[in-house]
Amino acid sequence: MTMLMTPVGGWRARTMLAALALAGVVASLAQTLVLPLLPLFPGWLSVSAADAQWIATSTMLAGAVGAPLFGWLGDRFGLSRMIVVALGFLAVGSVLAALSDSLWMLLAGRSLQGFSSGVMGLALAVARTMLAPSSLPWAVGIVSGTLGIGTGLGVPVAGFALEVLPWQGVFWISAGAALLAAALVAVVVPHRAPGTSAGFDFVGAAAFSAVLLLALIPLSLLGTSGVTVGSVISWSAALGVGVWWIRHELRTSSPFVDVRLARLAPIASSHVTAMLVGIAFFLSFTGTVYVSQTPTRDGVGLGGGVLLTGLVQTPASLASIAAAPLATFIATHWGARRTVMAGAIGVALASAGRTVVLDDPIIVAVWALLVSGSASFTFAAMPLILMDVAPLHATGAVNGLNIMMRQVGSALAGVIGAIVLSSAVLGESPSRSTFDWLFGIAAVCGLLAAATMVPWRRPYRSAPAYPVPRERTT
């Protein structure tokens, strides 16, 4: 017999929300924790700067698959259980990275860490299914805002940790935090019976992964080898596999990506916005790292190290913390779509502003603060759009897909950064034009993201033609 679940309230709701927020912060922390180390890895591991960039990009690629995968696993086996499993992947990957003595072993650990990207979508689904409707907007804002908080904290945490620990210590911190968050979620967040028994589309997941790899690997080599015959073949293969993948997703009963649901205007525009803001957000982090560690010359560079990078990024982390509840408050009074649009415009303007002064740490920190705050503002309001449209039983999958699009954006930004920073590969310090390109691309992405939030021409109803099954309690 099925029945509607009883919402969690009072102190249990607050404790559960705190556990979900901690899990979100810890999972998103892994994405940017290595960014201050990227300029140093070539010397430590005897690899090129382009190869070292994959230490960050590999996590984003794994996250692009892990987010929808864990969204489905949560809908199938229980949301809270899968949060613990995803954090377990983060802990194991962190330990493997800490013990690594080669690039390949480090990439394996970082890839395992990337699967923790599924935590965010699962946490949002828990909030939707277990909290009372009256408290849902604030809960969603807090949980979704942890993406900006965690990614914002990654750079300063790494910067300060390296003052007292070897570089492996950064990964031990990540492992310990993951285990703590997993234990808290296991104890505090109640388990509820899953709402679907649909199978998983492993073929669709594999094809999607192939499209990403076939498209991104040749792009990452543009800065060193340019366009080659192999690149053209790889991109052509990506296009062919991509077309086949879309047709496959439309035919299968349990698709990896629900293309029909994803093409609803509010959901489609939210996913595109997530990808574009993800590109701008990650490019801003990359710019902060390199401008902080570039020797001062011709009005460019702060001439510092990892510690200065952390100090410059710290205000941006604080802005991310403040932006999430502010976005929720504005979204409940002004509308989620307008809130997301305002945040995207803020990302564009702040990214453009970053090109003006590149040799003053205070000004660099202020512009980084505005970019991070605006991006976190956008991310915090976006799930409210999705939850207004998606059926209850698909909440985990839809939010997982949105997180996947952010990860795809971050992976694209990693490749873009590797191309733009190709001068550093040749042993030269990045010039002003390098940062103009980095922040200029971020600004354009912010403008395009705002444009996707222009009011949809046709009104929509919440999740048409998608029946919502009642949830069960155990």
Q: What is the CATH number of the domain that holds 169?
A: 1.20.1250.20
CA 288 to mean position of chain CA atoms: 18
Three-class DSSP category at 297: strand
Max mean pLDDT among 192-206, 240-254, 382-396 falls in: 240-254
pLDDT at 469: 37
Whether residue 423 has pLDDT greater than 80: no
> Which tokens go with 311?
């100090």
233 vs 328, higher pLDDT:
233
Region 393-401 average pLDDT: 69
pLDDT at 463: 41
> What length does the chain have?
474
Whether residue 458 has pLDDT greater than 50: no
Whether residue 183 has pLDDT greater than 80: yes
Least confident of 127-136, 394-403, 456-465: 456-465
Whether residue 285 lies inside any domain: the answer is yes
- In the chain, the number of structural domains is 1
pLDDT at 427: 52
Question: Tens digits of per-residue pLDDT, 68-99?
Answer: 778 778 877 888 899 999 999 999 999 999 99
Least confident of 42-51, 443-452, 453-462: 453-462
Region 96-121 average pLDDT: 91
pLDDT at 181: 96
Whether residue 7 lies inside any domain: the answer is no
Whether residue 113 lies inside any domain: the answer is yes
Whether residue 350 has pLDDT greater than 90: yes
Arithmetic mean of pLDDT over the chain: 83
Least confident of 30-44, 69-83, 453-467: 453-467
Strand partners, 297: 300
Query: Percentage of the chain with pLDDT > 70?
Result: 88
Least confident of 272-286, 334-348, 447-461: 447-461
Whether residue 219 lies inside any domain: the answer is no
Whether residue 93 lies inside any domain: the answer is yes
Whether residue 341 has pLDDT greater than 60: yes
30 vs 109, higher pLDDT:
109
pLDDT at 392: 67
Whether residue 160 lies inside any domain: the answer is yes
Question: Tens digits of per-residue pLDDT, 283-333?
Answer: 998 899 889 988 888 889 899 888 898 889 889 888 887 888 888 889 888
Residue 215 · residue 57 · CB < 8 Å: no
pLDDT level of residue 193 (50, 70, 90 thresholds)? low
Whether residue 55 lies inside any domain: the answer is yes
230 vs 132, higher pLDDT:
230
Max mean pLDDT among 34-38, 45-49, 165-169, 393-397 falls in: 165-169
Least confident of 3-17, 118-132, 177-191: 3-17
407 vs 440, higher pLDDT:
440
Using CA atoms, how far apart are residues 222 and 202, in angstroms rounded to an integer? 31
Domain range enclosing 176:
18-200+254-452
Strand partners, 131: 8
Least confident of 5-14, 291-300, 357-366, 419-428: 419-428
Strand partners, 425: none
CA angle 198, 200, 202 (to 5 degrees): 160
Whether residue 179 lies inside any domain: the answer is yes
Using CA atoms, how far apart are residues 274 and 256, in angstroms rounded to an integer? 18
Half-sphere exposure of residue 156, counting CA atoms within 13 Å on the CB side? 15
